[in-house]
Amino acid sequence: MAAPISQAATPTYETRRRPSRVAAWIVLITVALIALPLVLPSYQVSIATQILIFGVLAMSIDVLAGYGGRTSLGHGAIFGASTYVVIYWTSVLGGGIWTGIALGILCTTLLAAVFALLAIRTSGVYFLLLTLALGMIVWGLCLRWTSVTGGENGLRGIGRPDLIADHISFYYAVLLVVVPVTWAMWRFVHSPFGLTLRGIRDSESRMRGLGYNVPLHLFIAFVASGFFAGVAGALYALFNNFVSPSTVQLSQSVAALLMAITGGVGTLLGSFVGATLIISLENAVSVFTARWPTVLGLTFVLIMIFAPEGVVGRARILLSQRRKRQSSRALH
């Protein structure tokens, strides 16, 4: 995208973007998001809805991976658990949809707390494997506990309330949830608490020496991250109206992690870019082949080799280099 950078030949070292330009971008994106269903065919609108939902899931992974330095492979299971609870509550128990959503998010947050207690004392590949194993337990449970989960057949939902039944109104409903959730997550990672997570990512021993109870901070971050994954999972229950073990399986976690990486780990909003690219690719590829997992794996490899910092991460680097060049040119 052609950002009007060239006019900004400020002589000083600009570390912060000017508020007016940020405001312009926000207005532009808001207008685009609102106008989207008016120009896109209804199938594409439903893909856009999916992107919004998975963007939230990818962001919830980025909170831990990009800020706390803990890469989770269990978030697909946390997300799917919320989907299961919502659909079980509404279709099997016949409960109300709003209570179901609240219950789904609550249960998921509790599940995340259990995951967190087991995983936060580890880091690196051990954290990765532990969250993977915990996710596999959830998957195994959903597969085998057939009396509750329906096993491989899964559970069918009762459909969306009339108000948000069609694609377009559901898109707006999801947008109405995703925007404040995104704002909350943005504030969360940029708060003083968010800074402590970045400190933990850089040096746990220094953080301990400065008086931080490192496991407590990671616990809080994990539970918050699980809460956000639960919001995404509840929205997915409304979106998909069906849940089966494939919703909680490992490939779900991997795909969401890949979205966060593609967008740029530690950029938060990059998750939406990553979700857009991965989901669009999936839809494009499935026209030609059924081997989507193969393509996904290849994509992963290519991204790790050529752009490990992700799209938004790379763009940031290029922008800051450009700014530096401009400021040094202005000085000479």
Summarize as ranges the residues that interact with another protein (CB under 8 A).
Answer: 15, 184, 187-188, 190-196, 198-199, 201-203, 205-214, 217, 220, 224
Q: Are 175 and 52 contacting, i.e. CB atoms less than 8 angstroms apart?
A: yes
| Shortest spacing between CB 185 and another protein, in angstroms | 10
Q: Which is nearer to another protein, 28 or 195 (CB)?
A: 195
Which of residues 294 and 320 has its CB atom nearest to another protein in the complex?
320
d(CA 298, CA 312): 20
Instruction: Report d(CA 319, CA 108) in Å as an integer.
Output: 38
Q: Is residue 331 helix, strand or coil?
A: helix
Q: Which is nearer to another protein, 5 or 210 (CB)?
A: 210
DSSP bridge partners of 156: 242
Q: Which of 219, 314, 225 is nearest to 262 (CA)?
A: 314
CB of 180 to another protein, least distance (A): 12
Chain position carrying tokens 């746990």: 204
Closest distance to another protein from the beta carbon of 70 (Å): 16
Nearest CB to another protein, comparing residues 80 and 264:
264
What stretches of 40-161 show up as alpha helix (H) in DSSP? Answer: 42-62, 75-87, 97-119, 124-144, 146-149
- Structure tokens given for 323: 């700014």
Closest distance of CB 290 from another protein, Å: 42
Helix and strand element counts for the chain (H, E): 15, 2
User: Shortest Cβ distance from residue 220 to another protein (Å)?
Assistant: 8
Nearer to another protein (CB atom), residue 12 or residue 289: 12
Nearer to another protein by C-beta: 172 or 193?
Answer: 193
Where is 58: in which H helix or E strand? helix 42-62
Rounded CA-CA distance 178/234 in Å is 12
Query: How far, in Å, CA of 208 to CA of 200, rounded?
Result: 9
Q: Supply 259's token pair.
A: 């979205």
Q: How far is the CB of 186 from another protein (least distance, A)?
A: 10
Judged by beta carbon, residue 178 or residue 255, the one nearer another protein is 178
The least CB distance from residue 183 to another protein, in Å, is: 10
